[in-house]
Amino acid sequence: MQKVTAFAPATVANVSCGFDILGFAVDDLGDKVTVSLSGNPGIRVTKIEGDKGKLPYEADKNTCGVAIHAMLEQMDFEGGLEIELYKGLPLGSGMGSSAASAVAALVAVNRLLGNPFEKKELLPFAIEAERIACGAGHADNVSPALLGGFVLIRDYHPLDVIPLNVPRGLYCTLVHPHLVLNTSDSRSVLRRNVSLKDATTQSGNIAGLVAGLFQEDMSLISRSLNDVIAEPSRSVLIPGYDEVKEAIKAAGALGCGISGSGPTIFILSPNEEIAWEVSRLSQQVFEKIGLPIDLYVSAINTRGAYIIEEEQ
Ligand SMILES: Nc1ncnc2c1ncn2[C@@H]1O[C@H](COP(=O)(O)OP(=O)(O)O)[C@@H](O)[C@H]1O
Ligand SMILES: N[C@@H](CCOP(=O)(O)O)C(=O)O
Pocket of ligand 1 (CB under 6 A): 55, 62-64, 85, 91-98, 101, 133-134, 182-183, 260-261
Ligand 1 center to residue 110 CA distance, Å?
22
Residue-level pLDDT at 28: 87
The residue from 11, 34, 84, 130 that is catalytic is: 130
Which residues does the chain have with pLDDT short of 50? Answer: none
Residue-level pLDDT at 78: 87
**Which of 14, 189, 238 is the best mutation target for the ligand 2 pocket, counting ligand atoms within 8 Å of the beta carbon and taking the most?**
14
Residue-level pLDDT at 31: 98
* Residue 87 CB-density burial (10 A; 0-12 exposed, 13-18 middle, 19+ buried): buried
Residue-level pLDDT at 102: 98
Residue-level pLDDT at 290: 96
What ligand has the least distance to the C-alpha of 50?
1
33 with 108: CB under 8 angstroms?
A: yes
Residue-level pLDDT at 312: 81
**Could you read off the pLDDT of 140-198 as tens digits, one per residue?**
999 999 999 999 999 999 999 999 999 999 999 999 999 999 888 899 999 999 999 99
Ligand 2 center to residue 36 CA distance, Å?
30
Establish whether 58 is a catalytic residue: no
Establish whether 183 is a catalytic residue: yes
Ligand 1 center to residue 299 CA distance, Å?
24
Residue-level pLDDT at 184: 87
User: What are the phi and psi torsion angles at 85 (to 5°)?
Assistant: -115, 125
Please state the three-class secondary structure of the chain as a single string.
CCEEEEEEEEEEECCCCCCCCEEEEEEEEEEEEEEEEECCCEEEEEEEECCCCCCCCCCCCCHHHHHHHHHHCCCCCCCEEEEEEECCCCCCCCCCHHHHHHHHHHHHHHHHCCCCCCHHHHHHHHHHHHHHHHCCCCCCCHHHHHHCCEEEEEEECCEEEEECCCCCCCEEEEEEECCCCCHHHHHHCCCCCCCHHHHHHHHHHHHHHHHHHHHCCHHHHHHHCCCCCCHHHHHHHCCCHHHHHHHHHCCCCCEEEECCCCCCEEEEECCHHHHHHHHHHHHHHHHHHCCCEEEEEEEECCCCCEEEEEEC
**Which of 31, 49, 62, 98 is the best mutation target for the ligand 1 pocket, counting ligand atoms within 8 Å of the beta carbon and taking the most?**
98
Q: At what angle do helices 241-249 and 272-289 cross, to 10 degrees?
A: 140
Instruction: Return all residues near 156 (Cβ < 8 A) that are at least 6 apart.
Output: 137, 139
What CA–CA distance (Å, rounded) separates 29 from 36? 23
Residue-level pLDDT at 280: 97
Residue type, 105: A
ipTM: 0.96
35 with 106: CB under 8 angstroms?
A: no
**Which of 91, 265, 296 is the best mutation target for the ligand 1 pocket, counting ligand atoms within 8 Å of the beta carbon and taking the most?**
91
The alpha carbon of residue 77 and the mean position of all alpha carbons in its chain are separated, in whole angstroms, by 29
Report all structural domains of the chain as residue ranges with CATH numbers, in order of start: 3-164+301-311 (3.30.230.10), 171-299 (3.30.70.890)
To the nearest whole number, what is the mean pLDDT of the chain?
96
Is 91 annotated as ligand-binding?
yes
